A and B are shown apart, each in its own frame.
Chain A
Amino acid sequence: MSTEAGTGVKRRDFLKILGATGATTAVVGCSSEKVGKLIPYVVNPDNTVPGVSQYYATTCRECATACGVMAEVREGRPIKLDGNPEHPLSRGAICSTGLSALQGLYNPDRYRSPMVRQGNALTPITWDKAYELLAQKIGEVKSRGQAGSVVFINQHESGTFPGFLDQWLSAQGMPAHLSVDPLAPTATLAANQKAYGAAWPDLDFGAAKLIVSFGADFLDGWGHNVPQQLQWADARAKLEGAPRLVYVGARRSLTGLNADQWIAAKPGSDMAICAALTGQGTMAAASDSSGVSVAVLEALAKAIAEAGSGVMAICGVTTADAVDCGVMVAEINKRAGSVGTTIKPASAHGGYAGLSSYAEVITSMKKMADGSVPLAFVRGANPAHTTPKSAGSFAEAFAKVGFKVSFSSMPDETAQLSDLILPDNHWLESWGDAVSTVGQLGLQQPTLDPVFDTKSTGDVLLELAKKDQAIAASYNVADYRTWYISKYPGGAPAFTTALTKATVSVSPLVTATPRTLSVTAAAPAAGSGDFYVHVFPSPTLGDGRGANKPWLQELPDPVSKIAWQSWVEIHPSTAKKLGVKEGSHLTVETAGGSVTAPAYIYMGVRPDTVAIALGQGHTAYGRFAQNVGVNAFDLVVNGWDASGALALNGSLAKVTVLVDSSPLVTTEGSARQHGRGIGQAMTLAALLGQEAEDDHGHHPIPGMPSQDFRSGLKAPVAADAQGEFADPMSKDKGMYDADHVQKMEKRRWAMTIDLARCTGCSACVTACYSENNIPTVGAPYQGRALSPVKWDENPGANIIKGREMAWIRLERYYEGNENSENEFSSDFDTRFVPMMCQHCGNAPCEPVCPVYATYHSPDGLNVQVYNRCVGTRYCSNNCPYKVRYFNWFGYGEPERRQYAWPDPMHWALNPDVTVRGKGVMEKCTFCVQRIREAEHRARAEGREVKPDEFTVACAQACPSRAIVFGDAADENWTVSKLAYDRRAYHVFEELNTYTAVVYLKKVNYPAPALPAQA
């Protein structure tokens, strides 16, 4: 591990300044790089080889899907999470949220020890003192006979722990805990339970012909993100037999943008539409309430009828009638007879089992407000942030509780209100399990010793139990792990073997107290106003739990491309009417409350609707979350559906335009590709050869390359270096010589990106941040100086200046619907283009570099030599793809305020990749560290690199398997086959750059529910 030595650096900086300003530059400043100390192991821990990664299989606990992950551990510290290829659901893929778990683990703002409230401040104490204090409090509560009214609010978990917890609570004579997840599709679960008898049946996209999604964003947060994406992408990759997708909803979510047709129905009108589709209502009525023409609805009905048992109707609406709506939607499937084919109750997911509802939380909150709660525990959940103001202030209610205990490891809003904090281990530090599909248990093992002085709640509960003579006997185990193994079928040996795969066919070892949903819907007050307000969970930050992780804050929202900010989506035509410009501040006011945020003009939202995402607006929760954006929960009007779930939507809002405005923290330049043919598409008919492919909108630059571009892939690096246009002067070709020992020249690393698969979810982006030590630059403290005395402290200040560092970015281009600011049309196409260094065969960036800091390696990589770079930035100017990123500040220098990895976040840095210094250019390297590692391993084992033996970080994470990497010069690699696909093209081919990245055209399908033209 390398630790920076402060003093030496300071001296150097001083000399640098002196040197560069004075005449002595050439003499001093020879090393601007960090001085590092290498601390070798005195005694090597077992099976740890410095510099070689170990992989621990465990289970991701960031959402209810419980994907299997592999933690890459280097010298005892996890440095990256990858999907576990063995896992039946996630199949080696992983999403941004999962990847970012590392930043939850290494978060600099975590509680570093137990804390107790003294006066207004929380002060550290020892665990023993904490135990005593809590044991005493519990004792008091029991002695007063109030144990029955103790409240334990836990983040929702599946698996064994909830059962363990309930056992403990009942042993203490306390009621079962509340298992809270504000993001869980509670209504859908209830509806499914009613309709199919399974809370979450498996959705088989492969079997589907027509998918009708009523506001279900199944590619980006609704349900089981990663597995759904994998299935969806595989199904769509069938091209001809691909399922078609109709998205019904007031706002076009990421799933909506991937849909073949968007039916922009008014919020809350889904019910009517379903009624019409199931013959329980008239088309006319549906049309009236939804604002969708009868023709379209009829066409939809027709399409459903044609699809027969291939129909998959899913419901993700969050209005007060959500449950009934869900049942109605299920009715569509039943009628189509698709239950069992596309909807598989037989193989259900168990991740949501034992979920409590919002209504229950409110009930216990009321109890707190009455002051009838003597003792409350909160773990993981953050009700102080996720409870709408309209339901009354949680803080006030919580304040009335006798003694408040938080197990949260982050200083979130709720924890900050508590009296005692017993920080829990991060899931990467603890033992446990989670349910994926029913009967499948994902095991979870620690990947390192706790970073801080924290303890897993299981152990804490055991300690407390031991302190109580009454129940000590029944908890006579060392710690939660021992307890767990003792319960595990087959005991320790079986458990140990199971850990290697981390997925076993076992049910939770103890079951939680079953919950009975007995709530009656309480519709939120509709309020007044001429706009519907559409509140939705942020794909990246969720309900706000992701906001403390800079990777997620920095990751642009897949739809709006906005980061580090809240925004209000408003349709261009409405914006024009109200005179709203991009970034003008809008105040949205509902019966629940009001928020003010800059406007984002988006043609994917109905003109009578404004949309705003949850996730921001934290008042605590660490340096990355605090005071960033606004909390959209403030807009939500208190009220719930028949399942007790918070009805996010269904109320009206007043929108007032304020005079002031602020720039959007967006990574988007132009949302149109101006016919530059970056994200190309072809119609299915064209693909099948039924119609001529029209190059609509693509204006190639005159002077197309004479050769077939693929020769750029096949041809070893530079024709000239090969002597094709032989250069008489050059005798020695060095590594470029075909006979050179390293044989590098035989390879041509390349990549294909299938736009028919890519959903734009952006997992690749976060994967790249994680693998390549890319600094995040948007934090409020990372801005530049606006004057000698004032620093720019707006969140995302650097991103407003276009200085984000994402080596791979996800471009989102719109096609069609040019007239959107005058009239609303739901018909436009979206192209998602992952754009990274294209590793051109004839790279424009290379010859312009005065110091050879970028050149072409014999195996086709466009190499960037950081410590040779002097930072002229000419390479970036000459790059048509604009994929080079410059280190404007010392993001890697701890003593600079822009430092991107405040201790201990730098523990997650990849030791194989340099942290780039101030003033150098960087860009995608095709994960050269992985290439070389594979080559070296192969050489060590005395063999050639096997085809598809390894891949790059983005490709490895990609949940839609759109990215394929490999050696295009060797036809045994998948990539070299794909590169010759009929849909293959290069971006800016006409510039003769011979890129190593081949894109496969997106395939556009006719809108399934298109009313027949008269």
Chain B
Amino acid sequence: MATIARPTRGVGIRGPNIASADVQLPAVESYEQVDREIIATLGFTKKWFMGLSVSVAAMLIGASAWIYQIYWGLGQAGYEPPVMWGNYIITFVFWVGIGHAGTLISAILFLFRAGFRTSIYRAAEAMTVFAVMTAGLFPIIHIGRPWKFFWLLPYPNWRLLFPNFKSPLVWDVFAISTYLTISTTFLYIGLIPDIAVLRDKETNPTRKRILAVLSLGWRNSDREWRHFAKAYLFLAAFSTPLVLSVHSVVSFDFAMALTPGWHASIFPPYFVAGAIFSGFAMVWTIAIPMRKWFKLEHYITLNHLDATAKVVLFTSLVVGCAYMIEFFIAWYSGVRAEQEFFWNRVFGQWWWAAWIMLLCNMALPMSLWSQKLRRNPTWLFILSLFINLGMWFERFVIVVPSLSHEFEPWQWGGYTPSWIDMSFLIGSFGWFFMWFLLFVKQLPVMAIAELKEIVAPRVKHGHNGGHH
């Protein structure tokens, strides 16, 4: 919050490549307009119900697959030793990655005073929370005895038997659960003033009461705002390294192993970049239709999309660079196992997966060098779908080919996901969108209070609300 974007004098759209720091909303005149237009998005619609029922159905497919799998055993999934990790871990990393954009936008861009965050960060944060909720399920789905997953938590027990803190998986447990807690808190704290707005506009007494409770009796008083601003700043300060740490820790799951293709020190930065990359793609996938259906084009303007496109372009370059470095190191290391593995990954057994990855994550995003395309929502939406696909395959390429082609040639193998795996993939999307759709109709998808910071307040005497 603490004024990240100052109200600027003079109206009229600036040139397209304005510094993102003061992206502004020329079409938004007054506080009342903000309230009106954002609250207007909350009404239920037929389309929404249809979307929700589709998501719930998909979620149920996943749930029943899980019951089936727990009864029969993991053998129902497509695992093919030595490929002991498959679709579940791939999808886990995929969702964790997506879960990064939200906090990046709300925390890091906040610290960097990047103004274009204002109108997208709420949706992105919600996306983060739900993505991490989805991701969190997969390690449990993936383990052989899910009913024993709590053994990974350091809970006091009479044998005082604790998890092995040297294991990257335990780091994961800490990183993911911390991340979920913090991003949820962050989301909620940001929501408090907006819930207060809803409360004050609400007429239905029951809903009013509920909102009153949720808003914790927020009154917009100067004292509240003062501490709020500070708290928000520190939360952002904590979340920033957290975001970077979480995907680094996830990358340790691989980098800490000596498996060829995993055992690489480049993984943490590479994974973080990939996460942001895929996160922004998912933001597009969600925000571009949303701005249209909710008639919020003048809140998420082309300038916003342009700015996010630049982030995507940058992270795409980082990721591409990481791919290249992997190949180089494989050759440079002189480790034959490593070299043969990479050959097999790119030109052998797994060429198709590798090339889908390279096409979607390296080649297509290069289109964003063109300003026309950066400012073309349709293209960005299509591109976002490709990037999501590409990033899923990036994780596939990391997990499967490495395990299928290790040190011991006698144990080289393959992998084909089964119908059970696919049910879980479908289920995960169902689960995610179910939560998101429920969210968008209950709570504002844009930070009302923060938008008001950008909007110029009314003034009596001449000079337009500028501050001293």
Residues of chain A at the chain B interface (Cβ within 8 Å): 13, 16-17, 19-21, 25-26, 28-29, 32, 668-670, 672-676, 678, 699, 701-702, 784-788, 798, 801-803, 809, 811, 813, 835, 844, 847-852, 868-874, 876-878, 880-882, 885-890, 896, 898, 917-921, 988, 991
Contacts and interface: CB of A to CB of B under 8 A. Distances in A.
Nearest to A803: B81
Contacts of A801: 79-81
Given A787-B419, A802-B413, A898-B75, A674 B144 contact: no
Given A21-B63, A675-B336, A871 B144 contact: yes
A898 B73 CA distance: 10
A784 B70 CA distance: 13
Nearest to A20: B146
Contacts of B79: 801, 803, 886, 888
Given A19-B147, A32-B147, A678-B409, 5 more contacts: A16-B147, A25-B146, A848-B169, A849-B167, A918-B73
A29 B150 CA distance: 11
B258 A784 contact: no
Nearest to A16: B147
B71 interface: yes
Interface of B: 63, 66-68, 70-76, 79-82, 84-85, 139-140, 142-152, 161, 163-164, 166-170, 173, 253, 256-259, 333-337, 340, 403, 406-413, 418-420
A801 B416 CA distance: 9
B320 to A, nearest CB: 27
Contacts of A876: 81-82, 84
Contacts of A898: 73, 75
26 contacts: A13-B71, A25-B146, A670-B410, A676-B408, A678-B409, A785-B76, A786-B419, A801-B79, A802-B81, A844-B258, A847-B167, A850-B167, A850-B173, A851-B163, A851-B164, A870-B143, A871-B145, A872-B142, A876-B82, A877-B84, A877-B259, A886-B84, A886-B144, A888-B73, A890-B73, A898-B75
A786 B170 CA distance: 34
A947 to B, nearest CB: 33
B75 A877 contact: no
Contact of A25 (B150, B173, B256): B150
A26 B420 CA distance: 25
Given A13-B71, A20-B70, A870-B143, A669 B259 contact: no
A850 B170 contact: yes
Contacts of B76: 784-785
Given A21-B70, A670-B410, A802-B82, A28 B335 contact: no
A870 B413 contact: no
A872 B163 CA distance: 13
Contacts of B166: 847
A702 B333 CA distance: 8
A16 B149 contact: no
B290 to A, nearest CB: 30
A416 B259 CA distance: 53
B82 A882 contact: yes
Given A877-B84, A880-B258, A882-B411, A702 B73 contact: no
Nearest to A701: B335
Nearest to B416: A801
A670 B334 CA distance: 21
A890 B71 CA distance: 9
Nearest to A26: B150
Q: List 3 A-B pairs, minimum CB-CB distance, nearest first.
A: A871-B144, A919-B144, A888-B75
Given A882-B408, A919-B73, A784 B164 contact: no
Contacts of B85: 873, 877
A716 B357 CA distance: 47
B278 to A, nearest CB: 23
Contacts of A13: 71
Contacts of A988: 407
A549 to B, nearest CB: 23
Contacts of A803: 75, 79-81
A798 B142 CA distance: 19
Contacts of A835: 408, 410
Nearest to B72: A889
A253 B393 CA distance: 44
Contacts of B150: 25-26
A21 B140 CA distance: 10
Contacts of B335: 701-702
B152 A870 contact: yes
Given A849-B164, A889-B75, A17 B67 contact: yes
A668 B75 contact: no
Contacts of B420: 785
A868 B162 CA distance: 11
Contacts of B258: 844, 878, 880, 991
Contacts of B146: 20, 25
Q: Which of A16, A28, A802, A847 has the most CB of B within 10 A?
A: A802
B73 A887 contact: yes
A988 B411 CA distance: 15
Contact of B144 (A16, A809, A848, A918): A918
A90 B42 CA distance: 84
Nearest to A785: B76
A26 B253 CA distance: 24
A676 B168 CA distance: 28
B66 A669 contact: no
Contacts of B75: 784, 798, 803, 888-889, 898
Contacts of A788: 68, 419
Contacts of A851: 151-152, 163-164
Contact of A874 (B148, B169, B340): B169
Contacts of A798: 75
A668 B81 contact: no
Given A676-B409, A877-B84, A20 B147 contact: yes
Q: Which of B79, B80, B258, B337 has the most CB of A within 10 A?
A: B258
Contact of B410 (A813, A887, A918): A813
B257 A17 contact: no
A918 B412 CA distance: 24
A1008 B140 CA distance: 60
Contacts of B169: 848-850, 872, 874
B168 A848 contact: yes
A32 B407 contact: no
Contact of A850 (B71, B73, B164): B164
Contacts of B149: 20, 25, 870
Contact of B81 (A674, A811, A885): A885
A848 B167 contact: yes
B82 A29 contact: no
Contact of A920 (B84, B145, B411): B145
A850 B85 CA distance: 15
Contact of A888 (B74, B163, B253, B407): B74
A560 to B, nearest CB: 14
B407 A880 contact: yes
A679 B236 CA distance: 56
A674 B340 contact: yes
Contacts of A676: 336-337, 407-409
Q: Which of B72, B145, B152 has the most CB of A within 10 A?
A: B145
Contacts of A28: 147
Contacts of B164: 847, 849-852
Q: Which of B80, B150, B333, B411 has the most CB of A within 10 A?
A: B411
A29 B149 CA distance: 11
Nearest to A877: B84
A194 B150 CA distance: 75
A591 B406 CA distance: 47
Contacts of A882: 81-82, 406-408, 410-411
Contacts of A25: 140, 146-147, 149-150
A673 B150 CA distance: 41
Contacts of A786: 418-419
Contacts of B67: 17, 21
A16 B151 CA distance: 15
